[in-house]
Chain A
Amino acid sequence: MTEKALEVDNVSGGYGDLKVVKEISLDVYEGSANGVTGRNGVGKTTFLKLICGALPLLGGHVRLSGRIINRLPSHSLFQLGISYAPQESIVFDGLTVQENLTLHYSSSNLDRYTYVFKRFPRLKDRLQQKAGTLSGGEKKLLSFSRAVSEPTKLVILDEPTEGVQSDNIILMAQVINEEKVKGRSFLIVDQNITFLEAFSDRVHLFDHGEQTYHTDGPNFRNDIEKRILI
Chain B
Amino acid sequence: MAFSIVVKLSLLSLLIAFPFVTNSYSAYQLGLYLLYGIVGQGIALCWGKGGFLPLGQALFFGIGAYISGLMLQNDVGWGLVIVTLFLAIVIPFLLAGVVGVLVFNRQIGSGPYFSLITLALALVGFQLANSQVWLTGGFNGLTGINGLPNIDSFGSLYFVIVGALVLTTIILSKIMGSPFGLLLEAVRENEERLQFLGNNTSWIKAAAFAVSGGIAGLAGAFFAPHQGIVTPQVLGFILSAELVIWTAVGGRFGLLGPVIGAVLIGFLASGLRDAFVYWEVIVAFVFILVVLRLPGGIGGIGVHLSRKIGLNFHSYGEISERSRSVPEVDKIITRELKFEEVTITRGSVVILDKLSFKIEGLGIQCLIGPNGAGKTSALNALTGKLEVDSGEISWCGRSLNNVRPFQTLSLGIGRKFQVPSIFPNLTIRQNIDLSLWVNRLKRNQLLSMVPYTWKSDLLEKLEEVFPFISDKSLIAGSLSVGERQMLDFTMTVLSEPSLVLLDEPCAGLSKAETETMIKAIADLSKSSKSMFIIVEHDMQVVELLSDNVLVMHQGKLIAQGSLAEIRSNKDVQRVYAGGTK
Contacts and interface: CB of A to CB of B under 8 A. Distances in A.
A42 B347 contact: no
Interface stretch (B4-12, B143-151, B236-244, B573-581): B573-581
Interface string B558-581: 000000001100001100111111
Contact of B579 (A93, A135, A169, A208): A169
A193 B578 contact: yes
Q: Is the interface of B mostly helix, strand, loop or mixed?
A: loop
B504 interface: yes
Interface residues of A, number: 33
A191 B347 CA distance: 27
A230 B508 contact: no
Interface residues of B, number: 26
B481 A19 contact: yes
A86 interface: no
Given A194-B579, A194-B580, A208-B538, 20 more contacts: A16-B481, A17-B480, A17-B481, A18-B419, A18-B481, A18-B508, A39-B537, A39-B539, A39-B576, A40-B370, A41-B371, A41-B538, A161-B579, A162-B372, A169-B580, A191-B370, A195-B579, A230-B539, A230-B573, A230-B576
Interface string A200-230: 0000000010000000000000000100111
Contacts of B16: none
Interface in A157-187: 159, 161-162, 166, 169
Most chain B beta carbons < 10 A, residue from A41, A166, A190: A41
B579 A41 contact: no
Q: Is the interface of A mostly helix, strand, loop or mixed?
A: loop
The 7 closest A-B pairs by CB, nearest first: A41-B537, A192-B579, A191-B578, A18-B508, A192-B578, A40-B537, A18-B481
Contacts of A35: none
25 contacts: A16-B481, A17-B480, A18-B419, A18-B481, A18-B507, A19-B481, A39-B537, A39-B539, A40-B371, A41-B371, A42-B537, A135-B348, A166-B579, A169-B579, A191-B370, A191-B578, A193-B578, A193-B579, A194-B580, A194-B581, A195-B579, A229-B539, A230-B539, A230-B567, A230-B572
A14 B508 contact: yes
B479 to A, nearest CB: 10
Interface of A: 14-20, 39-42, 87, 93, 132-133, 135-136, 159, 161-162, 166, 169, 190-195, 208, 225, 228-230
Contacts of B347: 93, 132
Nearest to A230: B576
B476 to A, nearest CB: 14
Contact of B577 (A42, A135, A159, A225): A225
Contacts of B420: 18
A188 to B, nearest CB: 13
Contacts of A169: 579-580
Contacts of B419: 15-16, 18
Contacts of A195: 579
Contacts of B507: 18, 20, 41
Contact of A20 (B349, B508, B566, B578): B508
Contacts of A194: 579-581
A200 to B, nearest CB: 14
Contacts of A17: 480-481
A191 B577 CA distance: 7
Contacts of A135: 348
A194 B580 CA distance: 7
Contacts of A208: 538
Contact of A41 (B348, B504, B566, B578): B504
